[in-house]
Structure 1
Amino acid sequence: MTVFIDPPLWPAHGTLWSHLVSDRSIDELQVFARAAGLPPRSFDRDHYDVPASERERLVAAGAVPVSANELTRRLIASGLRIRAKDR
């Protein structure tokens, strides 16, 4: 199982946020997220929004840190990407 996490770059709600994705399946992503105790409300169609305070814990749990560009490339290549206009 491999899931990827990008740097916390996106501001909202008084913190910065990362994205957690799988390049294999949404099921794989959901299994990792449940095991890591992420709340279901943080799932956004093809990724989880993760506050900066959780990033290192998720890396320790097995998430692979990648750049934001690399994360986007992997998600698009996987065919799992849901574009904003398709939401």
Structure 2
Amino acid sequence: MILIDPPAVPSRGRLWSHLASDTSYDELHEFAAAAGLPERGFDRDHYDVPAEWYDALVAAGAVPVRSRELVHRLVAAGLRVRRTHTSKVPPERQ
């Protein structure tokens, strides 16, 4: 399932959401590509999405959840990638 949290993270003068899958990275990348999200928005286990994309992604099928729920679902699915100082990209995407 594709999940999106509310736009609440400020950066570069905007608010940002996180788009993730609790099923697989393949599902996430397919959804993001179909929605027109640039690959550069992928960050380890989610896409960073500016607030102005939120409504369109929900309309396309992303399920709105709270930020804590999104992280919980990633952890439960074994898809959560913790930040390290060596790489931003999961091994299967390198």
| TM-score w.r.t. length of structure 2 | 0.88
- Residue 85 of structure 1, CA deviation: 3.0
* Structure 2 unaligned blocks of 5 or more: 88-94
| Distance of 1:58 and 1:67 partners within structure 2 | 15
| Distance of 2:10 and 2:23 partners within structure 1 | 27
| Distance of 2:44 and 2:32 partners within structure 1 | 13
| Residue in structure 2 matched with residue 63 of structure 1 by the alignment | 62
| Residue in structure 1 matched with residue 28 of structure 2 by the alignment | 29
Per-residue CA shift, 1:21-57, capped at 9, x if unaligned?
0001000000000000000100112100000000000
| Two-structure CA RMSD over aligned residues (Å) | 1.0
| Residue in structure 2 matched with residue 48 of structure 1 by the alignment | 47
| Residue in structure 1 matched with residue 3 of structure 2 by the alignment | 4
**SS, match of residue 49 in structure 2:** strand
* Structure 1 unaligned blocks of 5 or more: none
| Distance of 2:7 and 2:36 partners within structure 1 | 19
Q: Between the two proteins, what is the percent identity of the paired residues?
A: 62
| Distance of 2:71 and 2:43 partners within structure 1 | 14
How many residues get paired? 86
Per-residue CA shift, 1:54-87, capped at 9, x if unaligned?
0000000000000001001001111010001374
**SS, match of residue 29 in structure 2:** helix
| Distance of 1:8 and 1:78 partners within structure 2 | 23
Structure number with greater Rg is: 2
